Amino acid sequence: MDKPCKALPTTLLTLGMLIAPHTNAEVIDERIATEHLDLRLERLASGLENPWALARLPDGRFLVSERPGHLTLVAEDGTTTRLEGVPEVHARGQGGLLDLALHPSWGDGEHDWIYFTWSKPDNGNTATALSRARLEGESLVEVEELFVQDRYSDPGRHYGSRLAWLPDGTLLMSIGDRGTHPERAQDKGDHAGSVLRLTDTGGVPDDNPFVDDDDVLDELYTAGNRNIQGMIVTADGAIWASEHGPRGGDEVNFIEAGENYGWPEVSLGRDYGTGRPIGEDSLPGMRDPAHVFEGTQAPSGLAQVTADAFPDWQGDLLAGGLRSERLMRLTPDGSDIVASETILDGHIGRIRDIRQGDDGSLYLLNDDPQGSLYRLVPAD
């Protein structure tokens, strides 16, 4: 179902002028038609090795994590510099250097921290870890390890690893079920298959939903999540997450404290080998998805549109897709998704991340050994 058309409050020419041109941008597609406006797709930087996440600094530069273990600074003219001081990651399969997030009080000096997740090695096994560091010239300094999941396991799969800040200054972090034993997502004594809520120093907020339950790890905010690779806290404080299911079971969830999202007891996906359904469609006490993608989306990256340059998309979500190579626009209504539209379909390949910049532009990364940073803006 598509959202009804609304009258444009201004011309597309005016919309295009709201966003300043980017130096050295390469136009990839001059005009991409969507339901409400035409878009221009630009490439800002290339030569990024399997980029995973991006963060835009207040001065207009970008930080990009590259899964093999590089953190790269991208200047406004597209030139790239790899930073020193990144911890040694275990880059195998889906593991490596993963998500990025700036502290919400960045700019005050005291809180100028870059937060990042990564797969930490130990005797051939790995765990999802969270660290933070400061940027000094072309190096990370004061690197601090803040959190490591409680159990190391076989490397390569389902690290989750998206980060999102809540309005109260606490940090959400997703951890996948780690792939080999899906039932871990239902074990609340295991960090795997969950969303965690942490303080900005990696501690446990005293109002987390399970802190008074001795059978549940204090960091847990939700359980039953297979592999969240897109997560956003919206302008009104709501939490949305896009999550990998098995075949045909990719979904979007409305995240609330203490909820169980069902995996693997509840799923609309099918077993990779047999093609048979996994679990039940729905069970009491387990939260149903707000939206199930048609076919295989393989979701990664989730953003909310609030920029004036996209008046008819206000409040909508943009969800990237890896295998699908699609960028989807999703319209939320309360805790449901009520409409969807395909915005990009194969234009940049596997979409790994999508962010709205403070300049109103939409920025994307594609997952490729020679990946790129892209910008999406209204066409002139």
158 included as an active-site residue: yes
User: Which one of 90, 103, 158, 244 is the catalytic residue?
Assistant: 158
Tokens for 31, please give them.
């005009």
- Residue 242 in domain: yes
Nearest to 171 by CA among 120, 82, 104: 104
- Residue 118 in domain: yes
- Residue 4 in domain: no
Classify the C-alpha dihedral 199-205-210-211 as positive or negative.
Answer: positive
pLDDT of residue 53: 98
How many angstroms separate the CA atoms of 299 and 15, rounded?
Answer: 29
- Residue 49 in domain: yes
How many angstroms separate the CA atoms of 60 and 50, rounded?
Answer: 22
Q: Are 221 and 257 in contact (CB under 8 A)?
A: yes
pLDDT of residue 248: 85
- Residue 269 in domain: yes
How many angstroms separate the CA atoms of 243 and 293, rounded?
Answer: 10
Q: What CATH number has the domain bearing residue 123? A: 2.120.10.30
pLDDT of residue 380: 84
- Residue 5 in domain: no
pLDDT of residue 24: 80
pLDDT of residue 273: 84
Q: Which domain holds residue 259?
A: 12-378
- Residue 7 in domain: no
Nearest to 302 by CA among 146, 174, 159: 174
How many angstroms separate the CA atoms of 27 and 338, rounded?
Answer: 33
Would you write out the chain's pLDDT as a tens digit for each of its 380 residues? 333 333 333 333 333 334 666 668 999 999 999 999 999 999 999 999 999 999 999 999 999 999 999 999 999 999 999 999 999 999 999 999 999 999 999 999 999 999 999 999 999 999 999 999 999 999 999 999 999 999 999 999 999 999 999 999 999 999 999 999 999 999 999 999 999 999 999 999 999 999 999 999 999 999 999 999 999 999 999 999 999 999 889 999 999 999 999 999 999 999 888 889 899 999 999 999 999 999 999 999 999 999 999 999 999 999 999 999 999 999 999 999 999 999 999 999 999 999 999 999 999 999 999 999 999 999 98
Total structural domains in the chain? 1
- Residue 244 in domain: yes
